[in-house]
Amino acid sequence: MSSLRVLDLRHLGRPQSIASYLVETDDGLALADCGPATTLPRLEAALAEHGLELTDIRHLLITHIHLDHAGAAGTIAKRHPGITVWVSLIGAPHVVDPSRLERSARRLYGEDFDRLWGELLPVPEERVRIAEGDVLGWAAFPTPGHAIHNVSYFRDGTILAGDSCGVRFPGTDYVAPVSPPPDIDVEGWHASIAAMREHRAERLALTHFGIFEDVDEHLDRLGRELDVWAARVRDGMDEDAFTAAVSADAGAATEAIEAVAPIRPSWHGMRRYWDKQQSDNA
């Protein structure tokens, strides 16, 4: 069996939107990110294409707790009592009790919440493990920046990156440093990019979307775009102008980016970051 297989979860029917990765560990098969509950039927169908059922999966390696990455974890744990869920120390309490996460997401998405994400169930605490150090033969290391609870996994030349490597789509070279509120950290993100470089990876596996082997070029582009986005907001560009500027930069990739990570919330995330910087330095 190949050690890395991409499962296209086709969120809202759209291909190449959200990926889950079927990977091998020292304790059997795992999924790196599992998508939201709304894509669970597609996840099961994708596993079946490989001759597998959900109960053949022993572990979930969660990169971070945003609903497009980990929303189905509780539902999977309910259906599959033998599975273990690995998540960062910061993210673990919100996997065990997702009520605060759900309240926040419902305020943001309103009536669209159920259509987009579906149910959000807790994972029993005894089934949760902290993703740090050696995780079943994968090296877990913190990669905050996009989210304070983002952790990446490295093995055999592959980094399972979550959103720490931004958003990019096959056939394009634009890398979007998607920056939604509340905890964007530009300096921390650059430190995470440096940490990923230290692993000298041969490929990056992105949840949005796919496997990229031009690792140095990708990380270079990510860092440049992160600084561009941050500077635009710092220097007073408003939400409309920011959205238009990013769309112009992204070109043909804009539609795909908007489908998984709308650009406007990134203005708000960067604005929050700079307001916090100003407050901390006052």
The yes-or-no verdict on residue 279 having pLDDT over 90 is: no
Q: Which residue has the tokens 């220097």?
A: 235
Percent of the chain residues topping a pLDDT of 70? 99
The yes-or-no verdict on residue 1 having pLDDT over 60 is: no
One-character DSSP codes across 253-268: GHHHHHHHS-SHHHHH
252 Cβ contact partners less than 8 Å away, ≥ 6 residues apart: 172
The yes-or-no verdict on residue 239 having pLDDT over 70 is: yes
Give the span between the Cα atoms of 3 and 155, in whole angstroms: 10
1-132: which CATH architecture?
Answer: 4-Layer Sandwich (3.60)
State the span(s) of the chain assigned CATH 3.60.15.10. 1-132
The yes-or-no verdict on residue 19 having pLDDT over 50 is: yes
Task: State the pLDDT at residue 62.
Answer: 98
Average pLDDT, stretch 86-115?
92
Average pLDDT, stretch 56-82?
96
Task: State the pLDDT at residue 95.
Answer: 96
pTM value is 0.94
Task: State the pLDDT at residue 219.
Answer: 98
Average pLDDT, stretch 166-186?
94
